[in-house]
Structure 1
């Protein structure tokens, strides 16, 4: 379906400001990196600088597939979404490239990393691990939302309410 067709069901394109606010407030999404046979897809917490970059903190090991694929510098995609109900949802799809951030720049990223969601497992257990910060430079973005029932749609009446 085209956006024009979806608009008839209450779907609309998000404005730049709506996408910026959404990315600032979400903190978790799904990263897709190109791989040999199929994309490597992984949930990630992120920080957003409010403009054109996301930041990821990777907990790394010697055999980190995510790190190996990110260092190739190929194009990647990132999806952030929220769907609290069938007729109330938002999603932003980003495309761009991922690259490591030099450790000398990490202190400057405090504000951008502040909204990143982190599993309690990492916070509470103080897991000692190597970490690396990566930047996702946003090349393209598109966002869609639906904020209620489609025009003319009436939910089925329950027998109790009749």
Structure 2
């Protein structure tokens, strides 16, 4: 079913301003990269520039599948979602390009990346591992939300 077909149940598309506000208020999502047989899905924290770019910090070792796949892919997808209840949730799907950021440009991203959430094990690992920053340039974005009871159930409460 399409979003239009689900409107009667309370599902609504998000406009660009709502998508930007949602991305600004969240800090984690799932990155999908092209792999040989199945998609490679990776939960990641991100920084958002408020316009058209997300930034990810990768902790990489001597061999990193996420770094290898990121370098090899032309187009990636990133899903950000928040679920409060079955009648109150939002999700944004982004499609774009993923490129490493040269280390000479990292200082300009420091403030943007300071507030991202990282599991403590990754924070500890970052002290001894190699870190790479990737930029995800948003080419396409779609968002949907469901906030409150479906209209037909809402009318039965009155």
Q: What TM-score results when the alignment is normalised by the length of structure 2? A: 0.91
Q: Is the 8 A contact 2:59 2:126 kept in 1?
A: no
Other-structure match for 1:102: 102
Other-structure match for 2:82: 82
Structure 2 alignment gaps of length 5 or more: none
CA distance in 2, matches of 1:86, 1:92: 17
Runs of 4+ in 1 over 4 A off after TM superposition: none
The answer to which structure has the higher helix fraction is: 2
Q: Is the 8 A contact 1:49 1:111 kept in 2?
A: no
CA distance in 1, matches of 2:129, 2:62: 11
Q: What's the RMSD between the two structures over aligned residues?
A: 1.5
CA distance in 2, matches of 1:60, 1:12: 39
Query: SS at the partner of 1:152?
Result: helix
Structure number with larger C-alpha Rg: 1
How many pairs were matched up?
Answer: 154
CA distance in 1, matches of 2:115, 2:20: 13
Query: SS at the partner of 2:153?
Result: coil
- Change in 2 beyond 3 A, CA 1:21/1:111: farther
Q: What TM-score results when the alignment is normalised by the length of structure 1? A: 0.89
Q: CA deviation at 1:125?
A: 7.2
Query: SS at the partner of 2:35?
Result: coil
Other-structure match for 1:50: 50
Per-residue displacement from partner, 1:67-105 (whole Å, max 9, x unpaired)? 001112421100000011100000000001111000000
Structure 1 alignment gaps of length 5 or more: 155-162
Other-structure match for 1:160: none
CA distance in 1, matches of 2:90, 2:50: 18
